[in-house]
Amino acid sequence: MDLVATLAKSAGMAAEANTPGSLLAKIPLSMKTLGFDTRKKFDQIAVDAAELKIPVHSRRQLDQLMKNCIACHSSFKIIEEVSQ
């Protein structure tokens, strides 16, 4: 459960520290809202895994969080232009 907490924390709001402001400015509000909610859910998984240490609880949280991932990835795509 310590590994669960560590990995979940790294995918939480701390991961936003590396997102360039120029990219955030281009992302639609609905995508940001869903993305930040997802990051916060990862942070909650991290806290609960560290404190509760109940694998089935963390699994249920992850099941709920994955609904955000599926919704976001099915709705939004970032296409990178490649110059040659």
The Cα 60–Cα 25 span in angstroms is 33
Predicted TM-score (pTM) of the model is 0.88
pLDDT in tens, 22-67: 989 989 999 999 999 999 999 999 999 999 999 999 999 999 999 9
Predicted local confidence at residue 16, as pLDDT: 93
The pLDDT assigned to 53 comes to 98
Domain boundaries, given as residue ranges, for the chain: 2-75
Per-residue pLDDT at 9 exceeds 80: yes
Separation CA 33–CA 23 (nearest Å): 15
SS3 81: coil
Average pLDDT over residues 11-29: 92
Rounded Cα distance, 9 and 17, in Å? 13
